[in-house]
Structure 1
Amino acid sequence: MTIKAFGANSAEQPLASMNITRRTPGAHDVQIDIAFCGICHSDIHQVRSEWAGTLYPCVPGHEIVGRVSAVGEHVADFKKGDLVGIGCIVDSCKHCEECGEGLENYCDNMIGTYNFPTPDAPGHTLGGYSQKIVVHERYVLRIRHAEEQLAAVAPLLCAGITTWSPLRHWQAGPGKKVGIVGIGGLGHMGIKLAHAMGAHVVAFTTSEAKREMAKALGADEVVVSKQPDEMAGHIKSFDLIVNTVAAPHELDAFLTLLKRDGTMTLVGAPASPHPAPEVFNLIFKRRSLAGSMIGGIPETQEMLDFCARHNIVADIEMIRADEINEAYERMLKGDVKYRFVMDTSTL
């Protein structure tokens, strides 16, 4: 079927309206009428070929919510009319160790929602800046929030799971001191989730203007990282720091804040590398510098269910499809609180 979408034909061109083709649902497929799609910073990196290997035409978008409009004959768990979501994964090998453990995000043959090879035209996946999507039932997620919250649920499919996964893996909760570096699309979700999990949450920002904003999101304390005395007050005190900043920066100032055996995990993905940290910052306190990448399907469903129970959604600004290029420029300036979401009915 031919549907409307928004995408780019090269790194130098702005995103524009285009027609794309979706496959007819197979026996295990779910067809979804997309209602809203969140706008992720990685969309910019990919569509502008700041990460190597962009395939064009590129239709971004991996924070997808909508309603099931058709199902294949062997689909048992979803029916027409269900509220569902699609995150960053639309396929994987289904038989490796990672897939067997529900960690499809670490499968060597994971297929992302856009810019990954597929038999479907045009030979690579096309994302959620579009009217419909067809996905194998394994990668469809159930949404239990109220329907009026649907647009604000969309960013949970990337920003939510990207911060939930390390918080769960490193066991954030009561009695743990957790730092969230950066108060943007990822960081604002990290603060909300860590607070709801019962951790003592400290938000780090370079902007004094964000101090009260972070407290309103659930931070117990806020540190302006450019203030040495504020940073010094937290040396050797954190169990976990989740660093969401997607621009190269010095890591050592945050590593010194970790306790013995503490961990800082990177979830922001800059277009160029961070400066290398000082090795003695790690050795002397057996600290760890780690990374974390979205989450598998079971973990993403767990996150969505947790957010529904705790009434957690993203703070969003809605845009029309034809406002996407302006939204990209505003994102690069940090001019959004905290996530843009496209109303796909405007395609």
Structure 2
Amino acid sequence: MKTIGYAAHSADAKLVPYHFERRELRPNDVAIDIQFCGVCHSDLHTVNGDWGPQPYPLVPGHEIVGVVSAAGPEVTAYKEGDRVAVGCMVDSCQECDQCHQHEEQYCRNGMTPTYGAPDRISGEITQGGYSRHIVVREELVLRIPDNLDLSRSAPILCAGITTFSPLRTWDVGEGTRVGVIGLGGLGHMAVKLATAMGAEVTVISRSTKKEAEAKASGARGILASTDRQAMQAAANAFDLIIDTVPVKHDLTSTRRYWMSMARW
């Protein structure tokens, strides 16, 4: 399948239009016309070579939403016209214990990332969602509910699942007290998801500058980590803390006051 995307041709190059071929449908594949793709900072790190050498030219993008254009003969879950999504994986062995537990990211034989990795069968380099089309194994395709706006769905495929996973793992629900460190892309998502689950949410930040923004997202307010008295008063105030800060930072003050929390 001929398609076009935006690719980086080297670590210091800008993304430019790139014509390439998607693989032909295998029996268990789904072909998708991409409608929207989120921009994650991981895409920038990857194409810039921050995480090591890459197989350029490289089309990034792993927050993909679109519509099924075709399905292989063995596909049972999707049909043409279905609204679907794809995250950071496009294949796994589907045979190991991890895959059987729906933990394909821990596939014993190695999962296949959405871009920048050899295809499990052909060996060709996978290319991501900054393009018009993509072909993905059925098991790694997700359904988008009809009442969800496609144009707003893409971040759920990365920032969404990144914050939803710990909230679900720790059984966050009505009455759970959740602290969210940082109010960036993941922080906003964590606040909204935890609030939707019924939790009482507080954002933990260096200052209260984003308090109005935090409250607009569903938090009850901000706890300033630089305010020693406020931090002391908040000892044992949370059942769960989600740290969304993407760079190394000092956790000493936070840990000092919450070492006795049940779920650190």
Residue number in structure 1 paired with 2:119: 118
- Cα deviations by residue, 1:294-323 (Å, 9 ceiling, x for unpaired): xxxxxxxxxxxxxxxxxxxxxxxxxxxxxx
Q: Residue 209 of structure 2: SS of its match in structure 1?
A: helix
Residue number in structure 1 paired with 2:237: 237
* Cα distance in 2 between the residues matched to 1:250 and 1:176: 26
Residue number in structure 1 paired with 2:27: 27
**Greater share of helix residues, 1 or 2?**
1
* Cα distance in 1 between the residues matched to 2:146 and 2:167: 22
1:129 aligned partner, one-letter code: Y
* Cα distance in 2 between the residues matched to 1:209 and 1:261: 27
1:175 aligned partner, one-letter code: G
- Equivalent runs, 1:48-67 vs 2, <5 Å: 48-67=48-67
Residue number in structure 1 paired with 2:15: 15
Shift in Å, 1:195: 0.6
- Cα deviations by residue, 1:171-217 (Å, 9 ceiling, x for unpaired): 21223211111111111010001111111111122353311101110
- Cα deviations by residue, 1:44-92 (Å, 9 ceiling, x for unpaired): 1111111124221121111000000000011111110010000111111
CA contact (8 A) 1:239 1:259 kept: no
* Cα distance in 2 between the residues matched to 1:45 and 1:136: 26
Residue number in structure 1 paired with 2:160: 160
Residue number in structure 1 paired with 2:170: 170
Residue number in structure 1 paired with 2:219: 219
- Equivalent runs, 1:307-318 vs 2, <5 Å: none
Number of equivalent positions: 263
* Cα distance in 2 between the residues matched to 1:204 and 1:145: 35
- Contiguous gaps of at least 5 residues in structure 1: 265-347
CA contact (8 A) 2:208 2:222 kept: no
Shift in Å, 1:105: 1.6
Shift in Å, 1:170: 1.4
* Cα distance in 1 between the residues matched to 2:37 and 2:121: 21
Shift in Å, 1:231: 2.3
Q: Residue 212 of structure 1: SS of its match in structure 2?
A: helix
**RMSD of aligned residue pairs (Cα, Å):** 1.8
Deviates more, 1:77-86 or 1:202-211: 202-211
**TM superposition score normalised by structure 1:** 0.72
- Contiguous gaps of at least 5 residues in structure 2: none
Shift in Å, 1:122: 7.7
Shift in Å, 1:232: 2.4
CA contact (8 A) 1:179 1:201 kept: yes
Residue number in structure 1 paired with 2:129: 128
Q: Work out whether 1:37 is the aligned partner of 2:37.
A: yes
